[in-house]
Every structure is written in structure tokens, then in C-alpha cells.
Amino acid sequence: MKRRRPRCTRKVTGRNAGKSTSKEQTWMKPKAPEADNLKIGDSIVVTIKRIGINGEGVGYYRRKAVFVPGALPDEVVKAKVAKTNPRFIEAKLAAIERKSPHRISPACPVYEQCGGCQLQHLDDAGQRAAKMEIVRESFARYAGLDNPPIRPIAAMADPWHYRHKAQLQAGTAGGHTVLGLYSPSSHRLVDIAGCPVQHGDINRAAGVIRSLLEQFGIPPWQEKSGQGLLRTVVIRRSSRTGEMQVTFVLTQDRLPKADKLIAGIRSALPDVVTVAVNKQDKKTPLVFGEHTRVLWGKPAIEERLGDLSYRLSPRAFFQINPEQTTVLYDYVKEAAALTGKERVVDAYCGTGTIALWLAPRAAEVRGIEEIPEAVRDARQNAQANGIGNARFFLGKSETLLPAWVKDGYRPDVIVVDPPRTGCDPKLLAAAIAARPKRFVYVSCNPATLAKDCKVLLDGSYALEWIQPVDMFPQTAHVESVILLVRKA
């Protein structure tokens, strides 16, 4: 009896000669599992297309999005599945099969453990391209704009040592006090002494303060047990004067051995001019509580941008990168296009930085802020700079602006610089009802920026331009200014 030739060696003739049939291919190489059938620990090969909003590489496996931290655009990587979801896959980088030409060695020794930066393994050109793509992708996805009017990103000449404020979580490791950041997706605190994106004076101050806290036995708060006192140490430095402000965020309003601690700080750190405490006893991701008290020194430090000086109390918001802040605010000024006749509302005004930047070219500026200390700082900043056409109101933007509009107040320009969560819907509704000629939006979150932009586009506004500004080099964060104008 004639023996049947094995399928794997079956001869194929005609137009299919030299090709394997689909059945043969299945026999010769097992079919990769479907995306919906993947299990944790499975290995997959992914081509990375772009950087995601959190700095992870984004690719696709059988049309399902895959997020791979540490992977870069145009790389082919082998990754192990860490989490599955009906809409996406999270995976850990296992090996790089094709390396990006923009991949470099990180400058920070704890870069991979810290999580404060996400892009130190990507060179400057790669970071700029990635951030432009993050903005473009956000507007395509959330605003429905496939080709949004994005300008080239405004980058820094020296993208290191730019941070003039540090918020360091307190904890213990190996029986010693640690000030640092939590490693991503963990409760492990990483000491970031010598952080290359922090100003050197802040790094030096953090090291001294950590030693003093340990010396005097100030107990750090323990997240798991809920015990302890010290939650966060906030250090701010003025780029103008070099003066520093230290705030201890506590679970109570009393700091033990405060006199000894202050004496130690004053002796070792003469540039520190303020020591304050803030009480935060709630389970919340917010750093500060509502009550702050200065234990010693000045109630505020002074910062300067351009020709303006700003008074900063411990809880007041101020941009952490002074060099790029002037660049950012000049784009806001360009977008506002003031002639001296306009009424301007600066919602989420903080200490009045943008409001005072615009006031010399406006007829009137009204700022809205819900933190009392910031409103007090803003009013004193206006007085100190001799600006009489800027007024600041305590309250929520989503409450005050609708009330003003109801009373007949119509601003010509509205400027917003909201938290990462974006504008309150009531504020956007009031802005659309007020019908200002120009709406200027400053944001550090491209996703919420694009979502809010869609609301304004649907409310008879047109998007003129988007200006990304690299306020936070080495991270995936990107600040943007957008200009929307009311349609005729």
C-alpha cells in the first residue's frame, strides 16, 4: 500500500508553488492567541506606535491597545501581559527586539524606581516629538479633530534642574527617615536625594531636613497603619532671591520639638526664610489641608516674572519652572490680543500671575480663586506692582462667573488655568452664555483640555491654534495654551 506523504512536505504546484497553505502554516507555527484570550504572564510581541499620556509606550496586539512602560515609539518589544481589560492590555517590557535610535541611558540612578520622571530614557528630540503626538492624539480622540492646528513645541535650552518646588512624601526605610516619591503602583517610598530635575538648593535642603527629622525623632506618617505625624515636606525656592520656604504637612497642627528643628534648619540652611505647618488629617491625594500656620520667619517669599513680582504664601499655587512660565504667559498674552479696552476674567487665578501679566494691556481684569491665602496674595501682588485695574474675588469659578453673567457682566476675554481635572461644566456653560470674543485655555492635561475644547467648539467657538510648552522636561507632562474665538 502506498504511504501518504506527510502534510509538512506536500508538494505544491502551479501558481502556489513555493508557498505554504494556510493549514500548513498553522501546523508549522502555532497561531498567536487572540487578544481576548490572553492570560497574565503570556508573552506578546508589540510594535510601539507612540507615547501615552502617562509616558508608557502604546502599541496594538490584534487591534487591542497595549501599554508598555519603558518602551519607545518605533521599537519592537517582547512584553509580558500584566493586566487584561476588554479595551486594553497592560504589559511589562521583557526585551527590546528593535531599538529606537532615540533611546539613551537615564541620567538619574533611581529613575526606574522613582516614577517622578517617565522619559529620561528618551533623548530631547524624541521627547519633543512624543509630546507633540500626545497633544495631537488627545485632540483627535476627544475633540474629533484629526488635524488640529498645533504649533511646534516651545522647548527648554537646558532641560535639567528646573524645578523650584518639591513635594516630598515622608516615610521610613531600613529604620531611617526617607523623603521622596512613591514608586509607581506601589507603596514603596524612593529617596530622591540629588534629583537631577530639582534645583540643587532644594536637593541640599531636602538632605539636611531629612537628617534633622531623624535626629529629633519626628515620626513619619505610615500609610498602611494610619499612624505617625509627618506626611509631606514641601520646599519652595524663589528663582529671583534664592530664598526658600519649608512647609511640614502633618496629621495634626502641632510639630514636636519645633524650636530645635527650626534652629537646626536656620543654622544649616540660611536661605530658608519661612518654616510653616499645614494640617492634613484626611485620607485624600491632596497634599495640603485647609489650615496653614507659619512657625517662624516671613509669611511669604517673593518671586519675579518679567517686570512683575509675586508674593507666595506656603499654599499658594505657582508654576514650578520659572524660566518656561514667562514663555507660557507670553503665549497667553498673544492669545488674549488685548488693546486696552477689554474686560478680562481670569478663572482659577491663584496668586494672580496671569491676571497681572495681562492687566497692563486690559481695561479691567477680574480674578477668581477659592483658596483664601492665594486671594490675599493676589491682592497684595496687585498693590505691590502698582496695578489698579485688577480685582480678585474669593469663591469658585463655576459659581461666581454664572452669577456675574446673570447680572449682565460680559467679559471680552476669559482665561482659564484649571486643575488637571479640567473646568467645571458650569463654568464652561457660563462662558458660552457670556459669549466672550476670545477664550484662552492653559492646561497641563491634554486629555481634559481636548474634552473641554469640544464643549466650546459645540458652543459656537472655533479653535485657532494650540501651543505646547515643555514645562516639565524628562516627564510625559506637557503644558498647552489654546486660543478659541467666537464664530461670527
SS (H, E, C) 345-411: EEECCCCCHHHHHHHHHCCEEEEEECCHHHHHHHHHHHHHCCCCCEEEEECCHHHHHHHHHHCCCCC
The catalytic position among 349, 423, 444, 453 is 444
The total number of structural domains in the chain stands at 3
Q: Which residue matches cell numbers 488693546?
A: 339
Residue 425 CB burial class (10 angstroms; 0-12, 13-18, ≥19): exposed
Residue 315 lies in a domain: no
Residue 170 lies in a domain: yes
What CATH number corresponds to the domain at position 452? 3.40.50.150
Residue 111 lies in a domain: no
Domain span at 427: 132-157+321-486
Residue 6 lies in a domain: no
One pLDDT digit (tens) per residue for the chain, 488 residues: 444 444 444 444 444 444 444 444 444 555 667 767 899 999 999 999 999 999 999 999 998 999 999 999 999 999 999 999 999 999 999 999 999 999 999 999 999 999 899 999 999 999 999 999 999 999 999 999 999 999 999 999 999 999 999 999 999 988 899 999 988 877 789 999 899 999 999 999 999 999 999 999 999 998 777 789 999 999 999 999 999 999 999 999 899 999 999 999 999 999 999 999 999 999 888 899 999 999 999 999 999 999 999 999 999 888 999 999 999 999 999 999 999 999 999 999 999 999 999 999 999 999 999 999 899 999 999 999 999 999 999 999 999 999 999 999 999 999 999 999 999 999 999 999 999 999 999 999 999 999 999 999 999 999 999 999 999 999 999 999 999 999 98
Per the CB < 8 A criterion, the answer to whether 172 and 477 are in contact is: no
| 298 and 332 in a common domain | no
Per the CB < 8 A criterion, the answer to whether 339 and 359 are in contact is: no
| 399 and 336 in a common domain | yes
| 253 and 151 in a common domain | no
Residue 125 lies in a domain: no
What CATH number corresponds to the domain at position 256? 2.40.50.1070
| 480 and 390 in a common domain | yes
What CATH number corresponds to the domain at position 92? 2.40.50.140
> Crossing angle, helix 124-142 and helix 446-457, to 10 degrees?
40
Identify the pLDDT of residue 303.
93
Does 108 qualify as catalytic in the annotation?
Answer: no
Residue 227 lies in a domain: yes
Residue 126 lies in a domain: no
| 337 and 482 in a common domain | yes
| 288 and 327 in a common domain | no
Residue type at 75? E
Four-CA torsion 431, 434, 436, 441, nearest 10 degrees: -10
Q: pTM of this prediction?
A: 0.87
Residue 236 lies in a domain: yes
Q: Alpha-carbon distance 46 to 449, whole Å?
A: 29
